[in-house]
Structure formats: C-alpha cells, structure tokens
C-alpha cells in the first residue's frame, strides 16, 4: 500500500463512527454547537450579565433617595390635678381634678435625600464597576477559547480513537489470516508448533489492543458529549487552522502578550484595584447632602388638630477621626494593586510560554507527519518483502508477525501525528488570543454582552431582567 493510499485509508477510517448519522458532522459544526450549548460558556455569560448590574448600582449614588412614612393610632391621656382652695375658716382645702382625653393621631410624610458630594466615591465606584464589567467580558473570552479548544480536541480525539480502532480491527483480521495460513503449513509439515503458538499469541495480543481501542473510543465519545452537548455522528476529517496564526514566532509572542484574554482580564483587574484605592480615600473627604422633608399630621392634640411641617436642610459632615479603620483600608487596597500588577506580569509570562510551547508542538507535529509517512511506506515495503521471503523459507513466521506489528504501529503513529497537527494549530490560535468565532469564520450568531449592558445601565426601576424573567 502506497503512502497516498495509506493517507486516504486513514482519512476514510477516521470518518467511520459507531453511531449512524443522516448527515456528516464537521469540526466547524462541533465548534458551533459547543459555542451555543456548552454550559460552562452559558454560565459565564450569566455571570457577565450579573456583573453588568454593578454599574447601575454604582450610578444610584448620583440619584436621590426617597422614602414615605405614614402613621395612625390611638392615644389616651389621664391627668389628675391637685389644687389648694381657700375655705371659710381662712385655711385651704385640697381638691383633686381628673382630666381624661382620647385622640387619634395620624400623619404621613416623605423624605428626599440627595447626595451632593461624597469624596468622588460615586464616580470612582462607577468607573470601578465598568472595569469589572470589562474584566468579566475578557474572562468570558477565556472561557469561550477554552471551550472551543476543548471542542476541537475532543473532536479530533474521537477521530483518532475511531481510526485506531479500525486499524486494530483490520490488524486482528490480518493476524487471524496469518494464523490460518500457519496452521495449514503446520499440517503439511512446513512449520513447527512453535510458529503456530507465536501466531496464536499475536492474535490474542491484537484482540487485546482492539478492546483497548474500543474503550478509548467510548471515553472519547463521552468527552465529546460533555463538551459539545451532543453525541458524535459520522465525523469528517478536521483541518488545521495555523494559517490564521502569525507566520513568525516573535509576532505571535507579541500578539499573545497583548491580546490573550487572560492578559487583558488581568489588566482590567489592575484598574479595579487602583479604583478601589480611590473609593476608600473618599471616606477622608467631607460629605455634603441635601435633605428635604414634609410631614402632615392629624389629631395631634385637642387644640391643634392638624399640622404641616416641611424642611430643606443642607448637611455637611467633615470626618476628623474614625478609629483608623479607613486608613487601614486604603493601605490594604494599595497592597492589592501591587498584587494585581504582579499577576498581570505573571499572565504575560504565561501567555508567552504558551505561545512558544504551542508553536513548538505545531512544528513537531508537522515533522512527525512527514516522518511517520516515511515510516508507513518503509513498513509496507518491509512487510511485503518479509512475506515473499517467508514463502521461500528465508523468513520465519515470527518475522512476518513482527513486520505486521511494525506496520500497524507506524499507521497508529501517523493517525496520532495527524490529530496532534490539528490540535496544535488550535492551541496556537488560542495562545495568541484569536480562537474565536469571527476569526474562524463560523456562521453562527455572536453573543454580544454589550446588548444586556446597554439595557440595564441606565435603569432606574424594575425587577425584571431584560429577557422577561
């Protein structure tokens, strides 16, 4: 079998799946299904939507706070007055006078409090909330890249496991045929019982390898279902995407350190920490607010049965010393800034390492494909030669069995290299931060986190989410 025929054979073998499907599944379809259905992605999207709500919560500091009060009740009054009254004898007589009353006090009112100045706390809290939103979006990009890479990996794992299982099945058939021929030759006295035993041993070993391949395929299919959300159908061969990555390593490294979502998320984390310092510093500034109050009372007393009070008061609170806790919070926030900056440097170093590593793995996979193709060709030639030499008695049965096993191993290595080639290309694209739907050119509606953000950012009231829940 030539290398060209071997390549066609491996691609065809990779398309054979245990479950039948009406249409062929492609790697692009698997990526789309994972993008739409994976619970990890959908959970992170929900987290981004929840983070969006931090912005209107911060903006509420600019808005007035209004409260209403009402009261109604009954009030009893029982007073005893003691008086001294002059009598006819020139002295005084003590008299007691009891007075009782019952009133029904009622009232209602409203209070409006408007923040005028709070040490720029509201402004800094709003900016901090926006940075948290940006960080959550970048984390969503991390999750999307991870899921897409996992989808490509499990897809290729199923193809690899299926192709290897098919190779092992064919190997069992070939070894069983070799055993049959060996037994026929033993019956006519051309070989010994040892040759038969060697062939029987190789049949058992081939069957064991086939069962292992079946177990690996079952495991790969389970992982496929977990990541993509559907059982694999009749899969077609996947293609590498390294054409979408930079052509030079230094460009890829620079791009990875600038665009990898783990790095950009860490950058927003630094912004959040810096703004927390300013938020904490706001407690050292004066606080200015305006308080307006209106109160209507009824049946307050016997003489004043109705009253109305209204006031508008400006309040200024100047903090002098509050126990020192506010200073500790500021120092703590500054230390957190240093931590976030170190984490940013760590993420950049990790992004660089991931790019270099995936670049090397991709180059190695390309070279392995060429090497294993040559190995398959040489193993095919060697097997054919050993078989011809065995027919004329120059080779033993064991030589034929060994040559057959070397050919199977070479074909398995080729399948593995082809799988590694595709996975490594997706890994490199993920390392540079471009493993996303637009770059891949997949025809699927994109999830846009800006839509929900714009829907809730300026909301003043309402408890329903934009989707109606």
Q: What is the pLDDT of residues 120-163, one digit of tens each?
A: 999 999 999 999 999 999 999 999 999 999 999 999 999 999 99
Rounded (10°) angle between helices 449-456 and 39-52: 30
* Range 3-63+120-283+325-456 classified under CATH 1.20.1600.10: yes
210, β-bridge pairs:
none
Residue 456 CA to residue 469 CA, distance in Å, equals: 14
**Alpha carbon of residue 251 to chain centroid:** 27
Whole-prediction pTM: 0.84
pLDDT band at 304 (very low <50, low <70, confident <90, very high): low
pLDDT (0 to 100) of residue 110: 95
52 neighbors 457 (Cβ within 8 angstroms): yes
How far is it, in rounded angstroms, from Cα 444 to Cα 30? 12
Q: Which pLDDT tens digit goes with each residue over 344-384?
A: 999 999 999 999 999 999 999 999 999 999 999 999 999 89
Q: Which conformational region is residue 80 in: left (phi greater than 0), alpha (psi within -120 to 50 degrees), or beta?
A: beta
Q: Are strands 106-117 and 287-298 parallel, antiparallel or unpaired?
A: antiparallel
**Domain assignments of the chain as residue spans, ordered by start:** 3-63+120-283+325-456
Q: How far is CA 189 from the centre of its chain?
A: 68
Look over the chain and give the mean of its residue pLDDT values, rounded to a whole number: 88
User: Looking at residue 88, what is its pLDDT?
Assistant: 62
- Do residues 376 and 414 make contact, with C-beta atoms less than 8 angstroms apart? yes
The DSSP 8-state label assigned to residue 190 in this structure reads S
154 vs 66: CA distance, rounded Å: 56
Q: Tell me: pLDDT of 18 over 80.
A: no
Q: d(Cα 401, Cα 171) in Å, to the nearest integer?
A: 10
Residue-wise pLDDT tens digits, 379-420: 999 989 988 888 877 888 888 888 888 999 999 999 999 999
Confidence check: pLDDT of 323 > 60: yes
HSE on the CB side for 116, CA within 13 Å? 12
In terms of DSSP bridges, do strands 234-235 and 24-25 run parallel, antiparallel, or are they unpaired?
A: parallel
Residue 279 buriedness (CB in 10 A; 0-12 / 13-18 / 19+):
buried
Which pLDDT score is estimated for 301?
A: 55
Q: What residues contact residue 329 under an 8 Å CB cut-off, 6+ apart?
A: 280, 283
- Half-sphere exposure at residue 66, Cβ-oriented, CA atoms within 13 angstroms: 7
> How many helices, marked H, and strands, marked E, lie in the chain?
12, 8
- For residue 369, the tally of other CB atoms under 10 A from its CB is 18
The better pLDDT of the pair 79, 57 is held by: 57
């Amino acid at each position: 079998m030539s290398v060209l025929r071997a390549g066609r054979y491996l691609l065809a073998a990779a398309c054979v799946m245990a479950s039948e499907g009406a249409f062929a599944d492609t790697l692009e379809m698997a990526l789309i299904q994972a993008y739409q259905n994976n619970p990890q992605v959908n959970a992170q999207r929900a987290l981004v939507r929840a983070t969006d709500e931090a912005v209107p919560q911060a903006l509420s500091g600019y808005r007035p706070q209004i409260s209403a009060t009402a009261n109604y009740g009954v009030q009893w009054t029982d007073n005893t007055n003691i008086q001294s009254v002059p009598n006819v004898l020139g002295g005084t007589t003590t008299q007691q006078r009891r007075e009782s009353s019952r009133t029904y006090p009622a009232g209602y009112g409203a209070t409006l409090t408007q923040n005028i100045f709070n040490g720029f706390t509201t402004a800094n809290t709003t900016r901090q909330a926006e940075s948290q939103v940006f960080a959550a979006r970048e984390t969503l990009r991390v999750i999307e890249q991870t899921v897409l890479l996992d989808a490509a990996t499990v897809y290729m794992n199923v193809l690899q496991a299926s192709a290897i299982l098919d190779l092992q099945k064919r190997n069992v058939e070939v070894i069983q045929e070799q055993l049959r021929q060996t037994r026929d030759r033993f019956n006519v006295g051309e070989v010994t019982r040892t040759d038969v035993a060697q062939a029987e041993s190789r049949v058992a070993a081939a069957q064991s390898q086939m069962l292992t391949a079946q177990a690996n395929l079952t495991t790969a299919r389970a992982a496929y279902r977990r990541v993509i959300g559907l059982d694999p159908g009749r899969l077609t061969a996947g293609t590498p995407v390294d054409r979408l990555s930079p052509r030079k390593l230094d460009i890829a490294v620079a791009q990875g350190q600038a665009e990898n979502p783990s790095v950009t998320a860490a950058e927003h984390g630094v912004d959040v920490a810096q703004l927390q310092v300013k938020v904490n510093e706001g407690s050292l500034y004066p606080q200015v607010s305006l308080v307006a109050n209106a109160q209507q009372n009824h049946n307050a007393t016997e003489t004043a049965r109705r009253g109305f009070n209204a006031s508008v008061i400006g309040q200024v609170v100047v903090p002098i010393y509050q126990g020192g806790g506010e200073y500790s919070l500021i120092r703590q926030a500054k230390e957190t800034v240093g931590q976030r900056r170190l984490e940013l440097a760590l993420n950049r170093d990790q992004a660089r390492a991931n790019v270099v590593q995936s670049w090397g793995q991709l180059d190695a996979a390309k070279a392995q494909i060429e090497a294993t193709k040559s190995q398959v060709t040489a193993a095919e030639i060697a097997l054919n030669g050993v078989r011809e030499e065995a027919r004329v008695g120059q080779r033993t049965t064991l030589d034929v069995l060994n040559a057959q096993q070397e050919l199977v191993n070479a074909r398995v290595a080729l399948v593995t290299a082809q799988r590694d080639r595709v996975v490594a290309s997706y890994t490199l694209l993920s390392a540079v931060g471009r493993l996303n739907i637009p770059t891949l050119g997949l025809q699927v509606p994109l999830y846009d986190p800006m839509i929900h953000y714009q829907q809730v950012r300026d909301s003043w009231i309402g408890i329903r989410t934009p989707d109606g829940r």
